[in-house]
Amino acid sequence: MPTEQFGIPHIGSPDAYDAIVLGAGISGLVSASILLAQGCSRVLVVDEYPSVGGNHINRTIGKFTFDIGSFIFQDDSPLLAHFPEILPYYVPITPTWGRLNPHGLVTRYPISVKDDLIAAGPLEWFRILGSVLIARTFHRRLENAGDFARYWIGARLLRRSGLENYMERFYAVPPEKIDIKFAESRMEWIRNHASLPRILKRLLPVRNKSAPNRQLARPKEGFACLYQKAVERLERGGTTFLLGTKMLGLRKQDGIFYLDTEEGRASSARVVSTVPLDRIRGLIDLRVNWELSTVTLISLFFSFSGTRGFAYSILYNFSDKGAWKRLTMHSDFYGKTEGREYFSVEVNANRVADSVESAERDFRDHVSQNGLFAGDLKLEGSHTLSNAYPIYTEHADERAASVIGALRKLGIESIGRQGGFDYQPTARVTTLKAEAALAPGS
For residue range 175-205, list pLDDT tens digits in order: 898 888 777 766 776 776 655 556 556 555 5
Whole-angstrom distance, CA of residue 159 vs CA of residue 157: 5
Strand partners, 265: 10, 260
Residue 32 CA to residue 146 CA, distance in Å, equals 38
Q: Terminal CA-to-CA distance of the chain, rounded, Å?
A: 36
pLDDT for the residue numbered 211: 58
- Characterise 309 by phi-psi region: left (phi > 0), alpha (psi -120 to 50), beta (else): left
Please tell me what DSSP assigns to residue 76.
T
Q: What is the pLDDT along the chain (442 residues), one digit of tens a residue?
A: 333 433 445 555 555 899 999 999 999 999 999 999 999 999 999 999 999 999 999 999 999 999 999 999 999 999 999 999 999 999 999 999 999 999 999 999 988 888 988 888 999 989 999 998 999 898 888 989 999 999 988 999 999 999 999 988 888 788 898 888 777 766 776 776 655 556 556 555 555 555 578 999 999 999 999 999 999 999 999 999 999 999 999 999 999 999 999 999 999 999 999 999 999 999 999 888 777 888 899 999 999 999 999 999 999 999 999 999 999 999 999 999 999 999 999 999 999 999 999 999 999 999 999 999 999 999 999 999 998 888 888 788 888 999 999 999 999 999 998 999 888 888 999 999 999 999 998 7
Q: Which pLDDT does position 4 carry in this prediction?
A: 40
DSSP letter string over 370-412? TT-SEEEEEEEEEEEESSSSB--BTTHHHHHHHHHHHHHHHTE
SS3 82: helix
Which pLDDT score is estimated for 256?
Answer: 94
| Residue pLDDT, tens place only, 294-345 | 889 999 999 999 999 999 999 999 999 999 999 999 999 999 999 999 999 9
Q: Choose among 292, 297, 257, 295: nearest CA to 277.
A: 292
CA distance 267 to 258: 5
Give the list of residues 6+ apart from residue 288 with CB closer than 8 angstroms, or none.
281, 399, 402, 403
Query: How far apart, in whole angstroms, are the C-alpha atoms of residue 319 and residue 327?
Result: 14
Write the CA distances from 169 to 93, 164, 183, 334, integer angstroms: 27, 9, 16, 28
Q: Are 420 and 294 in contact (CB under 8 A)?
A: no
Do the strands 215-217 and 73-74 form a parallel or antiparallel pair, or are they unpaired? antiparallel
Mind listing the pLDDT tens digit for each residue in 81-94? 999 999 999 999 99
